[in-house]
Amino acid sequence: MEKFRFLTAGESHGKCLTAIIEGLPSGLEIDIDFINSELSRRQQGYGRGERMKIENDTVEITSGVRFGKTLGSPVTLVVKNRDFESWQKIMSVAPEDITDDRAFSTYRPGHADYAGSVKYNQTDLRNVLERSSARKTAVEVAVGAVAKLLLKELGIAGSSQVTQIGSACCPAEFKDEVEVMRGKGDTVGGKFVVTYKNLPVGLGSYVHWDRGIDGKLAQAVMSIPAVKVVEIGTNPLGYQGSNYHDEIFAKDGEITRKTNNAGGVEGGMTNGQDLVVSGVMKPIPTMKAPLKTVDANTKEETEAHFERSDVCAVEACSVVAEARVAWVLADEILLKYGGDSIEELKKNFNN
Amino acid sequence: MEKFRFLTAGESHGKCLTAIIEGLPSGLEIDIDFINSELSRRQQGYGRGERMKIENDTVEITSGVRFGKTLGSPVTLVVKNRDFESWQKIMSVAPEDITDDRAFSTYRPGHADYAGSVKYNQTDLRNVLERSSARKTAVEVAVGAVAKLLLKELGIAGSSQVTQIGSACCPAEFKDEVEVMRGKGDTVGGKFVVTYKNLPVGLGSYVHWDRGIDGKLAQAVMSIPAVKVVEIGTNPLGYQGSNYHDEIFAKDGEITRKTNNAGGVEGGMTNGQDLVVSGVMKPIPTMKAPLKTVDANTKEETEAHFERSDVCAVEACSVVAEARVAWVLADEILLKYGGDSIEELKKNFNN
Amino acid sequence: MEKFRFLTAGESHGKCLTAIIEGLPSGLEIDIDFINSELSRRQQGYGRGERMKIENDTVEITSGVRFGKTLGSPVTLVVKNRDFESWQKIMSVAPEDITDDRAFSTYRPGHADYAGSVKYNQTDLRNVLERSSARKTAVEVAVGAVAKLLLKELGIAGSSQVTQIGSACCPAEFKDEVEVMRGKGDTVGGKFVVTYKNLPVGLGSYVHWDRGIDGKLAQAVMSIPAVKVVEIGTNPLGYQGSNYHDEIFAKDGEITRKTNNAGGVEGGMTNGQDLVVSGVMKPIPTMKAPLKTVDANTKEETEAHFERSDVCAVEACSVVAEARVAWVLADEILLKYGGDSIEELKKNFNN
Amino acid sequence: MEKFRFLTAGESHGKCLTAIIEGLPSGLEIDIDFINSELSRRQQGYGRGERMKIENDTVEITSGVRFGKTLGSPVTLVVKNRDFESWQKIMSVAPEDITDDRAFSTYRPGHADYAGSVKYNQTDLRNVLERSSARKTAVEVAVGAVAKLLLKELGIAGSSQVTQIGSACCPAEFKDEVEVMRGKGDTVGGKFVVTYKNLPVGLGSYVHWDRGIDGKLAQAVMSIPAVKVVEIGTNPLGYQGSNYHDEIFAKDGEITRKTNNAGGVEGGMTNGQDLVVSGVMKPIPTMKAPLKTVDANTKEETEAHFERSDVCAVEACSVVAEARVAWVLADEILLKYGGDSIEELKKNFNN
């Protein structure tokens, strides 16, 4: 992110998650209800555990917005962790509060525990879990909601859908699939698709590898915890040149297409078709039926620590992906059209 | 790329391709024969057309290396375009040479032509084709070869393989698949896998979304022209938590695994297992049997311009992906271990 | 800042200032009392007005630190604005609170008002003042205090001093100079010097223009509101080669110098001598005796709006500069030595 | 540099200097004669030695420009080192050419030799000298010339002047001052000022420390080899608030000023006045009358190695500074106005 810059912070059971966004134009209307509704969407979906019910996230804005509009200065978003009170001592900043309550040392396979504890020289794996947890995606969705408010000003809108859960490819089957897995104490992943409509032609570029919008989208989606596959448009396996590429037609002097296998990206640029980005999420690695693992202290084999109880979080993941795609698009829009105020941006955009 | 910084330049039929790499430690041995052998690997594979035979790329180094070792200063790599002589006038820098020889105006579907000409306000689509061509990946492979020389000093080695071409999933079938397509005037894509061995634990991070090595790898591979899918490890579709995650075992006090579905990445970090990144390349969009399209000037429907004659370039694509993964790893190594000379880097690495 | 990344946020009369620092190694002890003492230093010095007494800044840490040590995850610093209660309505985020109470439209010369209101398309100049105010340097000092804690682990320590106020070059005269100006309703600037000791040789580089530590230091100090001059070492005007350059001597096989006109920087790198960076601050532009200006709405000539009452803030400025130099040094240390934990950093540093 | 990205490369006696510029809009006319005339300006001025006469630099463009206009793809600039033939063996890339001809081991005070050899683990100080030499500024001036061509399209023009050499503050005295020093075998530095006219209001920003144009300018100028002081506008020492700040007047509804002590920058932004940036260059550290120093190998005291023979290079330095200010302005223009083609940029700029 070059113009739509931001940093996020916050542990899973810390006081709050925080994000600072730097680079927004002034004059952008910030609809807090919309941000909260996006936070709420992240908490939906079959297969979520008990914690989601506690959370009911809402955002507080502590800088960069006055009387409902951005000032051009950095915007701070704060999302409280609602169960912080019961974790206050365990997650305390103060050295004197040190405790090994809730410490653990059994590496959870599929998580950051092992590599994270080696990297950051930690023995209490909670010091890894707290930031590597997917909890941090809540404030990422809030950042994405702000990006979506920017895009909305230009008529650009996004959505996302779950297209597969476990072996179920039809939405009517999703609930059953989840319940079967819950019964087994197992977990499932799945596939989702993010779509943005009404994009201008020419976001991204072919002139240098790191300016391709396809690569930026792939980074944004692949770095979501648990995503292992990213696709743009239709997976080309099984196609030939003659039936994969989207032929070009003219209608009233305008370019049209009858297909969109490219997913709206040719040559690393948006081509005016719908942008279509898919991802595959792996099954949640924390299961009631625990995996074999090793204890960090004793180096003896044991079973994995169990903390969360979601069976499936593909829907949440799709909302996070939709938010992250919005980051990329907002950044590309700001790079291409410039503009320090929303009025100037719109003028350049509509030029 | 934050420490292993570079820019590449060059048109497909211009004088040369150039790259400048900034951020290498001093004292690194630069084996030009190795770089040339990597360039040669990019030119191999079933399905390539005539141009590959002309090219036989070699690199010249014009800065940053003295007596076979890096100085710590920026390294310039130059790869000549061997057919430049016949294109000299057509690709001239001089305003007085202006000509519409080799100009074209029919958008090629699947290429950058349409979006690129809108973005850069071009009517001669050659002004888009020349940089959007995959030709630029030659110097990218040279940059990757330098990155691989750095990795080799630390015992890290990479390789790549084509795992599917069109509908053929077995190497013995690849040649036939290509010849069938050549016969039809059609093209095919395929799938490849890149593997790096002997990586340290903890490259990348979970602490901030843009520090995950999975996202960086996905950007590097997805932004290769024609790649539409990136996977890290095993595609989780069809798996459950209980059979996807790589259980952890202890052997002589060391962590071991029996599976590697994670592809060597957990929590956005390398976990000491082999790094496994796959990609799917779409069929080459330029075919003897042309696609329907539109003429940029007349806006009338017509057939696509035909310039290259490859039927399949998946093997070249896998070599480019292998090079790009080396970029990411070199950058992560330099970020994690620091070091201004190769001696200092190795000391920190082995600490 | 490439490894020691951070963003700051917050308006002068908003709820709070916030900073997120990303890139700290784990295991670094965070002494909150030290951060608060740095915040307090910023509020000292002759010539400050009433607001300083209200403020008495303290920091709260809401992420990235547990039991007194960094986790490796982003650290959030929050500094409350103590007079927020009386400004709550005026600085409200909510659209329904809109008011023109405390709005103003007379450009203050020497401030961001004119250019800022053009850039961000604002008519109420408070929307510019609130972020362009020097208030934001409070949280910058907190970020610098964290950087100083990192440097302290490596034995590196910084300090700063005011060397001139107005026409007074001797500390004994500073108070008088300020009182004379206060009596006139005028303001004065001055000069300060920042010194860091015990730096390693070779921070920064000559290999590329943007890696010179001199340039990075100059950016960090010149972008402090009101600084107009930056010097590294001794101003060379009036010197000749023969008496400016610091000759090199050997003592017990170690390099020594008898002078330090270079201010510890040769070839864009630290050379092992004390780092010496000076800056000149202009007089505060808000004066009781107002400057002539223009009203943004009427375009008629008038007198400048008066909000603050400091006569001189050079001492605060020197503390901010000292903090910013710490940012640069922390970043350079992390780039050169790598290390994900403080233990790994120290091992590489002492290697 | 975020949008006007570039890397430069090349040793002082290597084959050539190279730069790649990425991020230029398409359609920009590249006047090679203009670039060459800027290169020639860098070689002028009293006090230069013999090498300047050999060099007579010219640029070759090997990518990114066709028929006199940019394509939007990266532009490669190559400036040959005209005396390379006699250095070919000494600066060879090939390991088999290794020689200690022209090697040296006496640290030159005021140069990168000592810190550079420690940092990059070099014993032959030529391995430091070759890149730390001011020779690299030739291609930096070429990059600046391209930036100036972009600025020229928007009506923005820059110039620079030497305002002091040694103790001489009047141009009529400069030649004498230099000759006196030449006679003594000594060197002198001096002061220069760079001015750009016709800038838009609002380049840079106050919203985050690293967006201030003052800081960016200071980095660009301070990182020029030998520059030790940077000033924006008038040095405020000796001024009071009442006589330093530039009062604002209205004339026919337009903002005017009668003074420009701010040097065109308020609140980290251009304010529509002329941009005025000064720098002070130290005396060249290589003198016929050598400085005392130490031999890197023996650690014994000796006298400094002498390679170049300039007495004064302030005029060259001013041209380099003028070029570097153009980099910053071009980057800021592209960030603020966006635009992928020069036509789109101009439309947004004039909006």
Residue C294: both structure tokens together = 């223009």
pLDDT band at C343 (very low <50, low <70, confident <90, very high): very high
Size of interface B-D (CB pairs under 8 A): 171
Nearest Cα of chain B lies from the Cα of D138 at a distance, in angstroms, of: 15
**Predicted local confidence at residue D245, as pLDDT:** 97
CB A195 within 8 A of CB A158: yes
CA distance C219 to D218: 5
Q: Where in chain B does DSSP place strands (E)?
A: 5-9, 16-22, 59-63, 65-66, 69-70, 75-80, 157-165, 190-197, 227-232, 248-251, 254-257, 265-266, 269-270, 275-281, 292-294, 301-303
SS3 A161: strand
Q: Which of C22, C34, C73 to mutate to test the interface with A (most CBs of A within 10 A)?
A: C73
SS3 B248: strand
For D67: left if phi > 0, alpha if psi spans -120 to 50, otherwise beta; the answer is left
Is the pLDDT reported for residue A310 higher than 90? Answer: no
**Predicted local confidence at residue C261, as pLDDT:** 98
Q: Name the stretches of chain B with pLDDT < 70.
A: 49-55, 307-309
Record: contact B9-D91, CB cut-off 8 A = no
**Predicted local confidence at residue A288, as pLDDT:** 84
- Residue D305: give the domain boundaries: 5-350
The string of DSSP codes covering D228-276 is: EEEEESS--TT-BHHHHS--EEEETTEEEES--TTTTEETTEE-SSPEE
The string of DSSP codes covering D313-335 is: -HHHHHHHHHHHHHHHHHHHHHH
For residue D280, the chain C residues in CB contact (below 8 A) are 235-237
**Over the stretch C197-247, which tens digit does the pLDDT of each residue have?**
999 999 999 999 999 999 999 999 999 999 999 999 999 999 999 999 999
For residue C205, the chain B residues in CB contact (below 8 A) are 72, 340
Record: contact A63-C18, CB cut-off 8 A = yes
Nearest CA in chain A to C98: A67
Other CB atoms within a 10 A radius of the CB of residue C266 amount to 31
Give chain D's count of helices (H) and strands (E): 11, 16
**Predicted local confidence at residue C44, as pLDDT:** 87
Neighbour-count burial of C152, counting CB atoms closer than 10 A to its CB (0-12 exposed, 13-18 middle, 19+ buried): middle
Is the pLDDT reported for residue D110 higher than 70? Answer: yes
**Predicted local confidence at residue B47, as pLDDT:** 76
- What's A103's domain CATH number? 3.60.150.10
Is the pLDDT reported for residue D52 higher than 70? Answer: no
pLDDT band at D51 (very low <50, low <70, confident <90, very high): low
Structure-token match 């010091």, residue found: A127
For residue D346, the chain B residues in CB contact (below 8 A) are none
Record: contact A9-C20, CB cut-off 8 A = yes
**Predicted local confidence at residue D54, as pLDDT:** 58
* Closest by Cβ to D336, choosing from A73, A207, A340: A340
**Predicted local confidence at residue D55, as pLDDT:** 60
Record: contact C22-A16, CB cut-off 8 A = no
Is the pLDDT reported for residue D112 higher than 70? Answer: yes
pLDDT band at D50 (very low <50, low <70, confident <90, very high): low
Residue D163: both structure tokens together = 């305002």
Q: What is the mean pLDDT of residues A92-107?
A: 96
Which range of A81-90, B48-57, D261-270 scores highest in mean pLDDT? It is D261-270
Q: Where are the alpha helices (DSSP H) in chain A?
A: 32-42, 51-55, 84-87, 113-119, 126-132, 137-153, 171-184, 213-222, 241-244, 314-337, 342-350
Residue D333: both structure tokens together = 């223009």
Record: contact A338-D336, CB cut-off 8 A = yes
For residue D207, the chain A residues in CB contact (below 8 A) are 22, 72-74
CB C9 within 8 A of CB D209: no
Is the pLDDT reported for residue D123 higher than 90? Answer: yes
pLDDT band at C97 (very low <50, low <70, confident <90, very high): very high
**Predicted local confidence at residue A351, as pLDDT:** 81
Task: Specify the DSSP element, H or E, that contains D279.
Answer: strand D275-281
pTM (predicted TM-score)? 0.98
Record: contact A63-C11, CB cut-off 8 A = yes
| Residue of A112, A157, A151 lying closest to A131 (CA atoms) | A112
Q: Give the distance from CA C156 to its chain's centroid.
A: 18
Record: contact B284-A241, CB cut-off 8 A = yes
Is the pLDDT reported for residue D41 higher than 70? Answer: yes
Q: Which chains reach chain C with 3 or more Cβ–Cβ distances below 8 angstroms? A: A, B, D
Nearest Cα of chain A lies from the Cα of C60 at a distance, in angstroms, of: 9
Nearest Cα of chain A lies from the Cα of D209 at a distance, in angstroms, of: 11
CA distance A102 to A125: 10
Neighbour-count burial of B321, counting CB atoms closer than 10 A to its CB (0-12 exposed, 13-18 middle, 19+ buried): buried
Q: Percent of chain D having pLDDT more than 90?
A: 91
Record: contact A247-B188, CB cut-off 8 A = no
CA distance D276 to D262: 8
CA angle C278, C281, C284 (to 5 degrees): 165
CA distance C286 to C309: 7
Q: Give the distance from CA D91 to its chain's centroid.
A: 25
CA angle B275, B280, B283 (to 5 degrees): 155
Is the pLDDT reported for residue A47 higher than 90? Answer: no
Backbone angles phi, psi at A308, to 5 degrees: -105, 170
pLDDT band at A51 (very low <50, low <70, confident <90, very high): low
Distances (CA, A) of A340 to C120, C299, C331, C348: 6, 23, 29, 44
**Predicted local confidence at residue D310, as pLDDT:** 87
Other CB atoms within a 10 A radius of the CB of residue A2 amount to 12
Is the pLDDT reported for residue A104 higher than 90? Answer: yes
Task: Break chain B down into helix, strand, coil percent, rounded to 5.
Answer: 35, 25, 40
Nearest CA in chain C to D215: C219
CA distance D188 to D169: 13
Q: Where in chain C does DSSP place strands (E)?
A: 5-9, 16-22, 59-63, 65-66, 69-70, 75-80, 157-165, 190-197, 227-232, 248-251, 254-257, 265-266, 269-270, 275-281, 292-294, 301-303
SS3 A256: strand
CA distance D157 to A96: 62
Task: Specify the DSSP element, H or E, that contains D293.
Answer: strand D292-294
Neighbour-count burial of D151, counting CB atoms closer than 10 A to its CB (0-12 exposed, 13-18 middle, 19+ buried): buried
**Over the stretch C150-184, which tens digit does the pLDDT of each residue have?**
999 999 999 999 999 999 999 999 999 999 999 99
Q: Which chains reach chain B with 3 or more Cβ–Cβ distances below 8 angstroms? A: A, C, D
Nearest Cα of chain A lies from the Cα of B28 at a distance, in angstroms, of: 25
For residue C180, the chain D residues in CB contact (below 8 A) are none
Nearest Cα of chain C lies from the Cα of B270 at a distance, in angstroms, of: 14
Is the pLDDT reported for residue D216 higher than 80? Answer: yes
Q: Which of B21, B208, B333, B347 to mutate to test the interface with C (most CBs of C within 10 A)?
A: B208
Q: Percent of chain C having pLDDT more than 90?
A: 91
pLDDT band at A44 (very low <50, low <70, confident <90, very high): confident
User: How many distinct structural domains can be found in chain C?
Assistant: 1
Distances (CA, A) of B316 to B174, B227, B331, D227: 14, 12, 23, 48
Nearest CA in chain A to C76: A9
Q: Which chains reach chain D with 3 or more Cβ–Cβ distances below 8 angstroms? A: A, B, C
Residue A211: both structure tokens together = 């300016």
Neighbour-count burial of A318, counting CB atoms closer than 10 A to its CB (0-12 exposed, 13-18 middle, 19+ buried): buried
Is the pLDDT reported for residue D142 higher than 80? Answer: yes
Is the pLDDT reported for residue D167 higher than 80? Answer: yes
* Closest by Cβ to C235, choosing from D110, D181, D280: D280
CA distance D339 to A334: 10
CB B163 within 8 A of CB B192: yes
Q: Which residue has the higher pLDDT, D9 or A287?
A: D9
Size of interface A-B (CB pairs under 8 A): 328
Is the pLDDT reported for residue A324 higher than 70? Answer: yes
**Predicted local confidence at residue B127, as pLDDT:** 98
Nearest CA in chain C to A19: C20
Neighbour-count burial of C191, counting CB atoms closer than 10 A to its CB (0-12 exposed, 13-18 middle, 19+ buried): buried
For residue B68, the chain D residues in CB contact (below 8 A) are 93-96, 98
DSSP annotation of D180 reads H
CA distance A150 to A155: 9
**Over the stretch D81-94, which tens digit does the pLDDT of each residue have?**
988 999 999 999 99
